[in-house]
Structure 1
Amino acid sequence: MDNATTSRLLENLKNSDPQVRDQATHELWESWFWQKGLSGLKRLQRSQDLLDAGKLEAAKSILNDLIERQPDFAEAWNRRAVLHYTQKNFDQARQDCEAVLNLVPFHFGALHGMGLCYASLGKYREAIHAFKAALDVQPHALINQKLLLECSTKL
């Protein structure tokens, strides 16, 4: 995706029209999943199928291989962060979110995930910072607004 398209989609995330925001959200997710073409997408889907089936090590193996072979594949890092989070490996998940954000600083999924990890670790100030960063990108995301308030009450 070129810079002009990315800039347009990021602006559309802030639009007052929910349909415009939803379309921009969908297009950004699609671009992240398709970053490495059909082959990369199929491997991400296979890892998700394995995760859904409870075959966590097999799912992690696919993601580890993707990351090793294509370290610039942000969504492979993000999917592995999700896997770590589901296993309650919050620090590993946070580290993978950081890797995503080094590649795609506006990845609202990784910003949200970072906030979840920090909140799960009881690091509420850091969680608040992450949720605020996610809201800078996607200001109408109610879940991040809610989680920001919840973390603020825990300080």
Structure 2
Amino acid sequence: MTTWLIRLAPLVSLGLLLLAGGPVALADQRDPRLPALFERLRETDNADIARLTEFMIWQIWGESGAPDIDQLMQAGEEAMERKDFAAAEASFSAVIKAQPNFAEGWNRRATMYFLSGDYLKSLADIDHVLELEPRHFGAISGLGVVNMALERIEAARDAFERVLSLYPLNLPARENLKLIKKKLDESDI
């Protein structure tokens, strides 16, 4: 077997295992496939498997189970890309109103608030995400980034360490921790 095929085998096996679980009408943060994925994410030392697992988790988190909600999420994403934050806020707020237990609606609005510079609203929405899905490494990373922007360095460090406890191979969290360590070392001088 060639080297590339040997490296690909664990990824294919993981993908087939997850597909065997079958479709779930309402996926989101309550999906029964998530515990195994989080275990894999925490335990793997293979960066390719970690990235594939992360992708699968994001896919599940994004499944609202309702076409109208999916359309609102897409409209919010497109508005955010255009930096039309008022339209993005309206879309994500409509998602939250319709499905208040859908963590990804809160997470996308938190991201939009961060991008628009409204850090306190971003933090409030991140709190909602983490109430619904305490393992949401994206929201926890967002918590770290917002705290960095607010110069709450220790809180940022705690958030990125929390990300790494869930997802040890998360490169952005590792890089942000390096920046924080450097900043803390400089402040000790």
Report the TM-score range of the alignment, normalised by the length of the smaller protein.
over 0.9
TM-score by length of 1: 0.93
Q: Which moved more, 1:37-46 or 1:92-101?
A: 37-46
Give the structure 2 partner of residue 7 of structure 1: 35
RMSD: 1.5
Instruction: Check the 8 A contact 1:124/1:152 in 2, yes or no.
Output: no
Tell me, which stretches of 5 or more residues in structure 2 are unaligned?
1-26, 185-189
Partners of 2:61 and 2:47 in 1: CA distance: 21
TM-score by length of 2: 0.77
Instruction: Select the structure of larger CA radius of gyration.
Output: 2
Tell me, which stretches of 5 or more residues in structure 1 are unaligned?
none
Deviation at 1:123, TM superposition (A): 0.2
Deviation at 1:22, TM superposition (A): 1.7
Deviation at 1:136, TM superposition (A): 0.7
Partners of 1:34 and 1:64 in 2: CA distance: 17
Deviations 1:106-138 (A, max 9, x none): 001000000000010000000001111111111
Instruction: Check the 8 A contact 2:140/2:162 in 1, yes or no.
Output: yes
SS at match of 1:34: coil
Deviation at 1:3, TM superposition (A): 6.3
Whether 2:179 is the aligned partner of 1:140: answer no
* Structure 1 residues 85-124: aligned runs within 5 Å: 85-124=114-153
Partners of 1:37 and 1:47 in 2: CA distance: 15
Greater than 6 Å deviation, 4+ residue runs:
none
* Structure 1 residues 2-151: aligned runs within 5 Å: 5-14=33-42, 15-151=44-180
Q: How many positions carry a matched residue from both structures?
A: 155
Deviation at 1:4, TM superposition (A): 5.2
